[in-house]
């Protein structure tokens, strides 16, 4: 459960903080063994490898390695997105839930970006590059609260699990997005992930959509959500000692111990933007292979995604508009996907975060 992490300046100039989560589930997907990555992870993309900024709330942990704190990882993450409130069905955000679900989380698997997470294991094995979108829902059956509190998240997940009959295991992630325009001023960070309540399987996370110091743009929301996803996959126990005094959790640095620096936290301040219908922010993640923050590990490889046999995260995201026009500002991302394509073709402009 980490809390926030990087300040990011969005294209709209807003500042935000991110977090991530993840999950898994059973899987259907059969993914080939992950190709060994290599030293070329950084040489392939000079903008995609960065050293931690060591600023902000990550100061204490930025020079420390991540290690497993007697916890576990999610081996086959399965993600469910819950967009809470009818506000997601109207206005400029109305197409966003489907886009974030299908074009981003639905196409993570097999990507070199998601492959970064395969470097994190527990006694039973690594996080596999086979993340699956379990489903998503715009929930209008329970009125969205006028003042959104973190304590509303787990009950909302419980209601959705019951309503949709969504299965949950330890590999399952639920990410809740309160509708834009509601009062989210009581939240202390822009996103957070943690375990579901006692007796419930999987992880919970939320992403602020209307908090003044967070990036509530579509781009910002994706960045926070991917941050929480990656961290929940590698540190599903999370750890917020103020909530749950325990030393058992997943991959993080040791300090500050009550707010561990996790795989995305360590790279706070670095991200990429891509996408077409909506801009998507990808947080750089810590990669032990190159001892740096990176956006990829190895290359993409075929997956069982229907319709898309090869993709990168960029490609996957862009694939949603594969046959549509490219945004003028996305130079470098102009090549259409094709098997075996070099990731450099999808390099997009670097997004400095602060």
Of 6 and 320, the one with the shorter C-beta distance to Zn ion is 6
Which residues neighbour 328 within 8 Å (Cβ) at sequence distance 6 or greater? none
In whole angstroms, the minimum distance from the beta carbon of 79 to Zn ion comes to 16
In whole angstroms, the minimum distance from the beta carbon of 333 to Zn ion comes to 26
In whole angstroms, the minimum distance from the beta carbon of 235 to Zn ion comes to 9
In whole angstroms, the minimum distance from the beta carbon of 89 to Zn ion comes to 29
| Interface region with Zn ion, contact rule CB under 5 A, candidates 120-128, 155-163, 229-237, 306-314 | 229-237
| Interface region with Zn ion, contact rule CB under 5 A, candidates 13-21, 45-53, 74-82, 215-223 | 13-21
Which x/- pattern, by CB under 5 A, does the window 272-301 give for Zn ion? ------------------------------
Interface residue with Zn ion, options 1, 2, 128, 353 (CB under 5 A): 2
Which x/- pattern, by CB under 5 A, does the window 231-260 give for Zn ion? x-----------------------------
Interface residue with Zn ion, options 103, 265, 273, 305 (CB under 5 A): 265
**Residue number of the CB atom closest to Zn ion:** 2
In whole angstroms, the minimum distance from the beta carbon of 223 to Zn ion comes to 11
| Interface region with Zn ion, contact rule CB under 5 A, candidates 15-23, 127-135, 247-255, 328-336 | 15-23
Residues 17-46 that bind Zn ion (CB under 5 A): 19
What is the spatial distance between Cα 138 and Cα 334, in angstroms, rounded to a whole number?
32
| Interface region with Zn ion, contact rule CB under 5 A, candidates 5-13, 28-36, 61-69, 90-98 | 5-13
Of 2 and 327, the one with the shorter C-beta distance to Zn ion is 2
With CB under 5 A, what is the number of residues at the site for Zn ion? 7
Of 29 and 60, the one with the shorter C-beta distance to Zn ion is 60
In whole angstroms, the minimum distance from the beta carbon of 2 to Zn ion comes to 4
What is the spatial distance between Cα 272 and Cα 6, in angstroms, rounded to a whole number?
13
Binding site for Zn ion (CB under 5 A): 2, 5, 19, 231, 262, 264-265
């Amino acid at each position: 459960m980490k809390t926030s992490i990087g300040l990011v300046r969005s294209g709209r100039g807003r500042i935000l903080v991110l977090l991530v989560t993840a999950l898994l589930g059973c899987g259907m997907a059969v993914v080939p063994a992950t190709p060994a990555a290599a030293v070329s992870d950084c040489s392939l993309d000079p903008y995609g490898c960065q050293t931690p900024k060591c600023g902000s709330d990550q100061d204490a942990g930025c020079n420390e390695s991540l290690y497993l704190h007697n916890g576990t990882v999610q081996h086959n993450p399965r993600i469910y997105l819950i967009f809470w409130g009818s506000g997601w069905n109207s206005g400029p955000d109305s197409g966003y839930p489907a886009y974030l679900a299908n074009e981003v989380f639905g196409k993570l698997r097999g990507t070199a970006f998601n492959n970064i997470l395969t470097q994190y294991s527990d006694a039973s094995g690594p996080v596999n590059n086979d993340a699956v979108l379990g489903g998503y829902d715009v929930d209008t059956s329970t009125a969205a609260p006028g003042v959104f509190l973190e304590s509303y998240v787990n009950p909302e997940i419980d209601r959705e699990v019951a309503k949709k009959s969504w299965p949950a295991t330890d590999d399952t992630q639920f990410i809740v997005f309160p509708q834009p325009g509601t009062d989210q001023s009581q939240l202390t960070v822009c996103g957070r992930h943690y375990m579901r309540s006692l007796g419930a399987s999987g992880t919970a996370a939320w992403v602020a959509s209307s908090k003044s110091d967070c990036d509530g743009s579509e781009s910002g929301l994706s960045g926070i959500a991917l941050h929480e996803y990656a961290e929940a996959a590698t540190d599903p126990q999370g750890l917020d000692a103020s909530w749950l005094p325990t030393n058992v959790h997943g991959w993080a640095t040791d300090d500050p111990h009550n707010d561990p620096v996790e795989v995305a936290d360590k790279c706070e301040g670095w991200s990429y933007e891509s996408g077409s219908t909506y801009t998507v922010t990808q947080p750089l993640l810590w990669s032990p292979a190159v001892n740096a923050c990176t956006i990829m590990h190895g290359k993409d490889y075929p997956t069982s995604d229907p319709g898309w046999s090869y993709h990168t995260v960029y490609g996957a995201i862009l694939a949603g508009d594969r046959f549509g026009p490219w945004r003028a500002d996305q130079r470098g991302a102009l090549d259409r996907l094709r098997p075996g394509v070099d990731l450099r073709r999808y390099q997009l402009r670097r997004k400095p975060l602060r």
